[in-house]
Structure 1
Amino acid sequence: MNPRRLSQLVVPVGVIMIIVMMVVPLPTLLLDLLIALNITGALLILLVSMFVQRPLDFSILPALLLVATLFRLALNISATRLVLLDGFAGNVIEAFGHFVVGGSLVVGMVIFLILIIVQIVVVTKGSERVAEVGARFTLDAMPGKQMAIDADLNAGLIDEAEARRRRAEVAAEADFYGAMDGASKFVKGDAIAAIIITLVNLIGGFIIGMMQRGMSAGEAIQTYSLLSVGDGLVSQIPALLLSVATGLIVTRSATDGDMGSNVSQQLGQHKRALQIGGGAAVALCVIPGLPKLPFLLVGGAVLLIAQRLPNREATADEPTETVAGPAPDSTESLIGEMRVDPLELALSPDLVDLVDPTTGDLLDRVRALRRKMALELGMVMPPVRTHDDLDLPLSTYVIRISGVEVGRGQAPPGTVLAIGEGLQALPGRAGTEPVFGLTGKWVPTELQYQAELTGATVVDRASVIITHLAEVVRSNASRLLGREDVRALTEMTKRTHPVVVEELTPALLSLGQIQKVLQSLLDEGVPIRDLVRIFEALSLRAKVSTDADGLVEAARTALGPAIAAQRAIGGALPVITLDPQLEQSLLEALRPAETGAFLAIDGARAETIVSQIGRLAEAAEQAGTTPVVACSPQLRAPLSRLLHAGARRVPVLSYSEISGSVSHIETMGVVNGAYAGAA
């Protein structure tokens, strides 16, 4: 039979045989063999618990404790049956009853009771408490560990496979300590059962010996009591070994070696302590009445061991050598602390439940947002470093870009955001949707259904944060597009269209110039997914001029159909146009500059143009449409910068981008700034 197949059958067959042992009588020879197997198995488990480097390396221990306890109880039942029926339960039990305890019933009872007290009161009780506290602390620490893993993943320090392995290890650790908390009850229950079984054997043997076998009271007590005590000792010795193994496992800390190595290594680090201890043992020899030889031998041995240890402890006069890592003020350490994350989401301590996989899915949504932004904008959103911030007020989250706060909001625990009218009757506190500025109320989660009945839109806390984060990324996409990102995008395009990339860079444009063009496109809400078309347009334009505005306009013209289709509604594009005379005068006012062309007009006229466009845009938005401003290609970039300076985020498209891209143009108004007075 295949060894693997055989190993899979050992435990199921063994458990079935244990159940059979409780019912079917066993011959004494087989019982002796099984008792020896029980003692050896318990000793083996104890030794393994000492040699494992981590508790999780022996994660099968809780199940082994259950099987071993069941096996030991089955042996008790089998031995009890043979003791009461035949007055003989094998050579092992007889040896423990006569030789180990010297044939004395009193000695056997005393030793048996001492073993029971040591197991229940000392070892099992302590192991049970340690396992309970360990399980509780492990579960409490899970959210923080999960958040640390996800933070390392988002920061790019580990890959997805390593993150899954660490999450599985955290979950396994919690399951292990929870199982050990329950398994320690098996050991405790086994010790109590041993007392009851031994008392039953004593009473039952006394009755059977006198009433069925015609023994005298002394003979019955002598025969059956020694066998009962021997049976109890045979079962309690392996039970004590398993109790000690349980205590060793649950009290192990996070170390890198087995228990013996750790003990010798850590005790060996304190040479002075060993010298003092050995000297104190030798000094006890001078006390009158105490035997001198034992203390002299022990103290001398300790002093000899201390003498052979190397000097590992630094004295006050000796410089301390450390290899733990760079000093706090070293260049390496300071550079690490100076590192600024490109995108950061800080949560107040009471919002940590959002990143706990058992109670929230914020981190999963952040990962999904990265994919969404990549498909929407054409750039890879930087990993979001998510962490708690003790300096934040309760229920507050903050979004930072390169260490600078760009967004802040509220997400009170245990609530959902209801947006709508008629919420006065519901308890909660007022809130505002951070992206669109809609007023609402944070109501308790259990009242979500009542809020929906009022016609309100109900949004959970994670959705509020993710919506806010997505809007921040869209608004600041150009700031998040770094030189390394441009290089990665260029390399990706080169794999499928090598000629396009080789013609463009580095022969015509550097990566920095390409980055500036892509940032300008993102700044005006233009996706950069179609890099092949963008690079082709830049190659043609760069042969004529590398002017920044000209490169951007060339790229926009190539993307014109996609830009216009993005703003069109059902094939119709709502447009705000400029009066021809105004447009001509603005063209005449164009002046070149290093940062791009600008409009050389007075402030009053500029304010009039901006305010007129703003009023027309607001009127169109109230009608349910989002208009764009159409103008000549030369005027598009300067006019867009003018509107942005006036805090008007109205898209500006050139005639070349619109022509042939939409089926219908709907005029929303004409700006006649040449004839308007100052606003």
Structure 2
Amino acid sequence: MNRNLSKIAVPIGVVGILMLLIVPTPAPILDVLIIVNIVLALVILLTTMFVKKPLDFSVFPSLLLVATLFRLGLNVASTRLVLGDGYAGQVIQAFGHVAVGGSIIIGSVVFLILVVIQFVVVTKGAERVAEVGARFTLDAMPGKQMAIDADLNAGLITDVEARKRRAEVSAEADFYGAMDGASKFVKGDAIAGIIIIIINVIGGIAIGMLQRGMEIGDAVNTYTLLTIGDGLVTQIPALLMAVSTGMIVTRSNAEEDMGTTASKQLGQSRTALLIAGGAAIVMGFIPGMPIIPFILVGAFLIIMAQRIRSAEAKAGRDADATERLENAPRPETTEDIIDGMRVHALEILLAPDLVDIVSGASDDLLARVKALRKKIAMDMGFVVPPVRTRDNLELPPSTYSLRIAGVEVGRGIAPPGKILALGDFLDGLPGELTVEPVFGLAGKWVPSEMRHAAEMTGAIVIDRVSVVVTHLSAVITDNAARLLSREDVRVLTDSVKAVNPSAVDELTPSPLSLSELQRVLQGLLSEKVPINDLARIYEALSLRAKVSVDPEGLIEAARQALGPALSAQYLDEGTLRVIMIDPVLEQSLVEGLRPTEFGSQILIDADRIESVIGSLKAAMAASESQGFSAVLVCAPALRPALRRLVSAQVNGIPVLSYHEATVSNIQIETVGVVRRDDALTS
């Protein structure tokens, strides 16, 4: 019932306002409506003081228009009664006789003062603030939208929160645009009030003299007082609405209401209150000044300053007690020892002078690491363990260390106040020469203020956080197999089962256990094969497991199922550039295959291995000299063993089987052939 009443209250009110403009209103009803108008304006003003941010009162522009229309309707109704009956109810009568003492001059002066305050001071200022606020809000809107998108892409907020923040930005722009227009209503209302008063005075005197035969003095006294009373009962609510407009457009977003915020901020300086209190007391002793009011005000300010001092001292004691309690040594428990023993999967250790890059801001190391974990999850198909970041006093200055399971796997430097410039023309720049830790590029750590100068030389400029995050990304990619735990495999398997239960039910716990699945997935990750398409991988494994559960065969079955995705990683404009193996050499390598507990191995003499590796290196060098990156292709049975043979010696060249390389819609270009005698045919 209440909800339905709230829905129709405003439409009914607008219809009532329309009736005020058309139908004569009895004086008692007009008294009630005038009181409602005054109270409504007061409620709106108080509401603007207690809201924490302007958007909490987003209905204000529309409410301002309705209130203005209501006031104009009351003006029409009261004018009809004043000119028609010479009486417009007790409220207007009281304002005309009691509020201004029945004096036309006093009433006129009071009314003019109210008009000047509203029109010249409040309305003009509110209009300008609303105009500037709308302009600044609209100008800042693209930047706010970009900031939201950046936070979303970095993983700092969810899609739901991003939509909510975008809606708030849009609502804020709409609100200030509406306020810019609504302020014109306030200005127009003030002008209308003056015109209505003039019309009522002239019309009242004319009616009194011409229709009612009143003397000019009696007509002026009667109708002018009623008109002034009518003007006061409408201008006072209009002034309150004008102040409300200025209040709402000058409010900034805060955590507390205006009164609480003003009290805190006015009382934040004890010295200011003491000086003001002393100045007030001194001014009281100026000859002719009333000393008692000045002394009372000054004493009040000094007392408030002393109370602030006591509050500050108490807050300081509480802070000291809290700090002592936090820093107090506590007995070491078994849980503390166990926590200290725990080995974290991933760690970033920072020298003490590097802790400034962990600031908690949206672009600091922690935020970038969070975004990196999300990116790797999307690219590789597994969730990177949380990265523990802490300082280490044992590290040299400006040094960071990357650890996996407590073992250091990477180290680099990121000097404070420096940026890394990578390029060929850095000799003219001051700084320390270095080697970029991921790609091995020569660079120089130059002062941050030299960024523009470094960019002018054509150098690539990288900030310290990007250096650390790029190094961490390479370490995670190279060690993805070590980071994939059995618990991760269980979580991934459960997620597949939720959408494709048949693929999981046919595979685990029989014929493959979680540990065997972990080994297969680790084998794929060790060759940088994404495991995003787990459903397809599990389907291929379930078919292969019916024949054999040999890990190498399972991995190859999974790779064959992912063939198009594997070759797509190495395409260059739709072309896959490959290095082939001479058929005679390939046949001899296949004949040398022997199964071992660590997988198949190629057992040939060292000279032949050296010859093959040398020929492969020459083929790769020739390809790179032409600006191409190539992959090595071979027979499916040979691929696992050949990959083990060349991965450690030829900088990890990708090795694909013929099945993986020969997929539809791919052009294959042979850029080299590996031969036994080191010859290279291109």
SS at match of 2:638: helix
Deviations 1:27-77 (A, max 9, x none): 111111111110111111111112222222211111110000000001111
**Aligned pair partner of 1:339 in 366, 371, 390:** 366
- Structure 2 CA distance for partners of 1:253 and 1:612, relative to 1, 3 Å: closer
Which piece of structure 1 moves more, 190-199 or 155-164?
A: 155-164
Aligned to 2:217: 218
Task: Please report how far the alpha carbon of residue 608 of structure 1 lies from its aligned counterpart in structure 2 after TM superposition.
Answer: 5.7
Which piece of structure 1 moves more, 64-73 or 22-31?
A: 22-31
Aligned to 2:656: 652
Check whether the contact 1:138–1:173 (CA below 8 A) recurs between aligned residues.
yes
Task: Please report how far the alpha carbon of residue 338 of structure 1 lies from its aligned counterpart in structure 2 after TM superposition.
Answer: 3.7
Which piece of structure 1 moves more, 61-70 or 181-190?
A: 181-190
What are the residue-to-residue correspondences of 1:559-638 with 2, within 5 Å? Answer: 559-560=559-560, 563=563, 578-587=581-590, 600-602=609-611, 604-607=614-617, 629-635=633-639, 638=642
Aligned to 1:257: 256
What are the residue-to-residue correspondences of 1:15-30 with 2, within 5 Å? Answer: 15-30=14-29
- Work out the CA distance in 2 between the residues paired with 1:323 and 1:23: 70
**Aligned pair partner of 1:673 in 672, 675, 682:** 675
- Structure 2 CA distance for partners of 1:498 and 1:557, relative to 1, 3 Å: closer
SS at match of 1:601: helix
- Work out the CA distance in 2 between the residues paired with 1:601 and 1:227: 114
Task: Please report how far the alpha carbon of residue 87 of structure 1 lies from its aligned counterpart in structure 2 after TM superposition.
Answer: 1.9
Aligned to 2:522: 516
What are the residue-to-residue correspondences of 1:358-377 with 2, within 5 Å? Answer: none
Q: Aligned AA for 2:583?
A: P
Check whether the contact 2:579–2:619 (CA below 8 A) recurs between aligned residues.
no
- Work out the CA distance in 2 between the residues paired with 1:574 and 1:533: 30
- Work out the CA distance in 2 between the residues paired with 1:575 and 1:257: 67
Check whether the contact 1:98–1:104 (CA below 8 A) recurs between aligned residues.
yes
Q: Aligned AA for 2:366?
A: R
Deviations 1:433-452 (A, max 9, x none): xxxxxxxxxxxxxxxxxxxx
- Work out the CA distance in 2 between the residues paired with 1:90 and 1:645: 103
Check whether the contact 1:577–1:629 (CA below 8 A) recurs between aligned residues.
yes
Check whether the contact 2:376–2:382 (CA below 8 A) recurs between aligned residues.
no
Task: Please report how far the alpha carbon of residue 378 of structure 1 lies from its aligned counterpart in structure 2 after TM superposition.
Answer: 5.7
Which piece of structure 1 moves more, 288-297 or 210-219?
A: 210-219
Q: Aligned AA for 2:280?
A: A
Check whether the contact 2:61–2:178 (CA below 8 A) recurs between aligned residues.
yes
Which piece of structure 1 moves more, 168-177 or 603-612?
A: 603-612
Check whether the contact 1:370–1:380 (CA below 8 A) recurs between aligned residues.
yes
- Work out the CA distance in 2 between the residues paired with 1:272 and 1:542: 85
- Work out the CA distance in 1 between the residues paired with 2:437 and 2:103: 79
- Structure 2 CA distance for partners of 1:632 and 1:225, relative to 1, 3 Å: closer
- Work out the CA distance in 1 between the residues paired with 2:638 and 2:159: 48
Deviations 1:436-473 (A, max 9, x none): xxxxxxxxxxxxxxxxxxxxxxxxxxxxxxxxxxxxx9
- Work out the CA distance in 2 between the residues paired with 1:557 and 1:510: 13
Check whether the contact 2:284–2:295 (CA below 8 A) recurs between aligned residues.
yes
- Work out the CA distance in 2 between the residues paired with 1:10 and 1:672: 87
SS at match of 2:368: coil
SS at match of 1:530: helix
What are the residue-to-residue correspondences of 1:236-635 with 2, within 5 Å? Answer: 236-312=235-311, 334=358, 337-339=364-366, 341=368, 483=484, 488-493=491-496, 496=501, 497=504, 500=507, 502=509, 508=515, 513=519, 516-520=522-526, 522-523=528-529, 528-533=534-539, 551=551, 554-560=554-560, 563=563, 578-587=581-590, 600-602=609-611, 604-607=614-617, 629-635=633-639
- Work out the CA distance in 2 between the residues paired with 1:5 and 1:183: 28
Percent of matched pairs sharing the same residue: 44
Q: Aligned AA for 1:633?
A: A
- Structure 2 CA distance for partners of 1:321 and 1:403, relative to 1, 3 Å: farther
- Work out the CA distance in 2 between the residues paired with 1:138 and 1:614: 53
Check whether the contact 1:610–1:648 (CA below 8 A) recurs between aligned residues.
no
SS at match of 1:250: helix
- Work out the CA distance in 2 between the residues paired with 1:403 and 1:162: 37
Check whether the contact 1:587–1:635 (CA below 8 A) recurs between aligned residues.
no
Aligned to 2:394: none
- Work out the CA distance in 1 between the residues paired with 2:194 and 2:84: 21
SS at match of 2:253: coil
Number of equivalenced pairs: 552
Q: Aligned AA for 2:492?
A: L
Check whether the contact 2:480–2:526 (CA below 8 A) recurs between aligned residues.
no
Q: Aligned AA for 2:560?
A: G
Q: Aligned AA for 1:653?
A: S
Check whether the contact 2:579–2:672 (CA below 8 A) recurs between aligned residues.
yes
* TM-score, length basis structure 2: 0.66
- Structure 2 CA distance for partners of 1:651 and 1:93, relative to 1, 3 Å: same
SS at match of 2:657: strand
Deviations 1:75-131 (A, max 9, x none): 111111222222222221121111111111111111111111111121112222222
